[in-house]
């Protein structure tokens, strides 16, 4: 070509056909090839394109410029597209794996809760029932005395139900706090109010506390009715 | 003031039927002190409970003014009658063990709240020589002090009828004198006392002493 070449720099090997390419300035190439102003380049390196869309771009250019011969310089775009595709696939796979893991954990939790929650509830209700009956028994004389003094049976019932509700509320609150206390270190996050606020659904905590009170009232209803319906004369005469 | 007519009450147990009241009739006037005496199991406590609106007899009636306690009053109304009209002193005292003397005396005020109850309770305890025992628990009291506490509690709501079951049983002379003086003062102020007792020291104070045998008033 009658020109001397100065190698500006050697590109890092990419393992593609780019490794066999010589990169020159466009005006130099036009000059060497004897076609000044006739050869041009469309740099679409930043576009999100891949092999199919490159063909589409070539066809469109051919339609707009019918006398122009279009050479696709696609290897970089392809490489980038492939990398992007691989990254997207990897991301999709990671998301799918994470979803599957969460689904598995959730299923395991649900399986555990399916028997643990009813069992715990029954155990708590049973304990409350025993506690309430023993409380009624221990306060038998007192109930008889107050009924003799004119206390209405409905107030005795209300007293024992209110006590059961209070125990249930307190138990629900303590349970919620204990649950959070157990969950935080297990999550490996340590204690922080921010974390507690971020993982705690106030609606669910409220529901748990109210459910505790309701369960307690249900368990205490029988003993409360027994207490309210006791004949004061029987109690005061027998003791 | 209050009148019992033909009261009949039978209890059934494994050992057979027990007749606690067998056609008992009794009339009590305001300012009257009546003692019912008789052996254990003759029906004294059952009579007190029936007249106090605590246990309905199987037949007969207990009239308070124009009302029959068991036919004309609902259980709720009867409870109000007890809280407003009747004071009970039980044989076993029935003091609440975890409450102080003052709190025990105030228990009727749980049923019928009254802002003056606290002052009245303190006054009663002062009268019964228990001023220094206000904050003691029943377990820390002597038998006489427990009985006096029970009496103060019965008088807290200023009842018109006081029903006392052996209020002087197991008491020494001093305590008997205190209890009887309190009952005398109550009657003097227009109250009515119906008392079950074996205690001859009390008989001299009463207007009438009735003798019960096997559910009947025999003299």
User: What pLDDT digit, counting tens, does each position of B74-112 carry?
Assistant: 999 999 999 999 999 998 889 999 999 999 999 999 888
B70 reaches A (C-beta below 8 A) = no
SS3 A1: coil
The pLDDT value given to residue A32:
81
CB contact under 8 A, A150 and B92: no
CB contact under 8 A, B107 and A149: yes
Q: Kindly report the three-state secondary structure assignment for every residue of chain B.
A: CEEEEEEEEEEEECCEEEEEEEEEEEEECCCCEEEEECCCCCCHHHHHHHHCCCCCCCEEEEEECCEECCCCCCHHHHHHHHHHHEEEECCCCCCCCCCCHHHHHCCHHHHCCCCCHHHHHHHHHHHCCCHHHCCCCHHHCCHHHHHHHHHHHHHCCCCCEEEEECCCCCCCHHHHHHHHHHHHHHHHCCCEEEEECCCHHHHCCCCEEEEEECCEECC
Split at pLDDT 50, 70, 90, the class of A76 is low
Option in B75, B76, B107 nearest A146 (CB): B107
Q: How many CB atoms sit inside 10 A of residue A67's CB?
A: 6
The pLDDT value given to residue A156:
86
The pLDDT value given to residue B195:
95
pLDDT less than 70: residues of chain B: none
Mean pLDDT of A125-132: 87
The pLDDT value given to residue A113:
82
A230 reaches B (C-beta below 8 A) = no
The ipTM value here is: 0.88
Q: Order of strands across the sheet with B16-28?
A: B16-28, B2-13, B59-64, B67-68
Joined tokens for residue A239: 């003791």
Split at pLDDT 50, 70, 90, the class of A124 is confident
SS3 A93: helix
How many residue pairs from chains A and B have C-beta atoms closer than 8 A? 55
Option in A141, A142, A233 nearest B55 (CB): A233
Asked if A41 and A73 touch (Cβ cutoff 8 Å), the reply is yes
- Residue in B with minimal Cα distance to A139: B96
The answer, yes or no, to whether residue A99 has pLDDT greater than 90, is: yes
**Strands B2-13 and B59-64, sheet pairing:** antiparallel
Q: Which residue has the tokens 């409360």?
A: A224
> Going from the N-terminus, what domains does chain B have, and what CATH number goes with each?
29-56+85-217 (3.40.50.300)
Chain B partners of A140 at a C-beta cutoff of 8 Å? Answer: none
A138 reaches B (C-beta below 8 A) = no
Q: What percent of chain A has pLDDT over 70?
A: 83
The answer, yes or no, to whether residue A194 has pLDDT greater than 80, is: no
**Interatomic CA distance for residues A191 and A186, integer angstroms:** 11
Instruction: Provide the β-strand partners of residue B87.
Output: B162
Residue B132 phi, psi dihedral angles, 5° rounding:
-85, 0
Model pTM score:
0.69
The pLDDT value given to residue A45:
57
More confident residue, A70 or B4: B4
Instruction: Provide the β-strand partners of residue A185.
Output: none
**Strands B2-13 and B16-28, sheet pairing:** antiparallel
Chain B partners of A141 at a C-beta cutoff of 8 Å? Answer: 94, 96
Option in B46, B55, B80 nearest A150 (CB): B80
Q: Which of residues 164-193 of B touch A (CB under 8 A)?
A: none
More confident residue, A192 or A147: A147
Asked if B210 and B21 touch (Cβ cutoff 8 Å), the reply is no
* CA distance from start to end of chain B: 21
Residue B212 phi, psi dihedral angles, 5° rounding:
-110, 140
Please compute, for residue A86, the number of CA atoms within 13 A of its CA located in the half-sphere on the CB side.
5
- For the segment A23-47, what is each residue's pLDDT rounded down to a tens digit? 788 778 888 888 887 777 766 655 5
The pLDDT value given to residue B30:
94
Split at pLDDT 50, 70, 90, the class of A160 is confident
A153 reaches B (C-beta below 8 A) = yes
């Amino acid at each position: 070509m009658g020109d001397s070449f100065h190698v500006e720099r050697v590109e890092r090997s990419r393992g593609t056909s780019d490794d066999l390419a010589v990169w020159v300035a466009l005006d130099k190439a036009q000059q060497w090839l004897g076609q000044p102003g006739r050869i041009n380049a469309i740099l679409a390196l930043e576009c999100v394109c891949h092999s199919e869309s490159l063909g589409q771009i070539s066809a469109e250019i051919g339609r707009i410029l019918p006398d122009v011969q279009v050479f696709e310089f696609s290897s970089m775009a392809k490489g980038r597209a492939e990398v992007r595709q691989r990254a997207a696939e990897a991301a999709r796979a990671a998301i799918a794996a994470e979803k599957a893991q969460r689904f598995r954990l959730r299923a395991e939790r649900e399986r555990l809760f399916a028997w643990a929650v009813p069992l715990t509830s029954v155990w708590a209700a049973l304990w409350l029932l025993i506690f309430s009956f023993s409380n009624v028994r221990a306060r038998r004389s007192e109930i008889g005395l107050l009924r003799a003094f004119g206390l209405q049976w409905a107030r005795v019932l209300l007293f024992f139900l209110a006590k059961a509700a209070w125990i249930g509320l307190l138990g629900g609150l303590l349970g919620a706090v204990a649950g959070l206390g157990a969950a935080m270190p297990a999550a490996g996050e340590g204690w922080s109010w921010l974390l507690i606020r971020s993982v705690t659904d106030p609606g669910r905590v409220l529901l748990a506390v109210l459910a505790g009170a309701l369960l307690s009232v249900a368990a205490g209803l029988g003993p409360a009715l027994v207490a309210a319906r006791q004949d004061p004369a029987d109690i005061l005469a027998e003791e | 003031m209050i009148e019992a007519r033909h009261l009949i009450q039978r209890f059934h147990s494994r050992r057979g039927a027990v007749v606690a009241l067998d056609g008992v009739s009794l009339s009590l006037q305001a300012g009257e002190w009546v003692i019912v005496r008789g052996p254990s199991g003759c029906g004294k406590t059952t009579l007190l409970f029936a007249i106090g609106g605590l246990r309905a007899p199987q037949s007969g009636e207990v009239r308070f003014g124009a009302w029959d306690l068991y036919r004309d009053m609902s259980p709720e109304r009867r409870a109000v009658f007890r809280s407003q009209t009747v004071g009970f002193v039980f044989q076993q005292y029935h003091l609440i063990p975890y409450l102080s003397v003052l709190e025990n005396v105030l228990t009727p005020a749980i049923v019928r709240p009254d802002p003056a109850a606290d002052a009245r309770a303190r006054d009663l305890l002062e009268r019964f020589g228990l001023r220094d025992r206000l904050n003691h628990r029943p377990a820390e009291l002597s038998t006489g002090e427990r009985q006096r506490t029970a009496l103060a509690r019965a008088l807290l709501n200023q009842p018109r009828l006081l029903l006392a079951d052996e209020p002087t049983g197991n008491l020494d002379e001093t305590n008997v004198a205190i209890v009887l003086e309190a009952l005398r003062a109550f009657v003097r102020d227009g109250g009515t006392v119906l008392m079950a007792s074996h205690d001859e020291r009390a008989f001299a104070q009463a207007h009438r002493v009735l003798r019960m045998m096997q559910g009947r008033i025999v003299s």
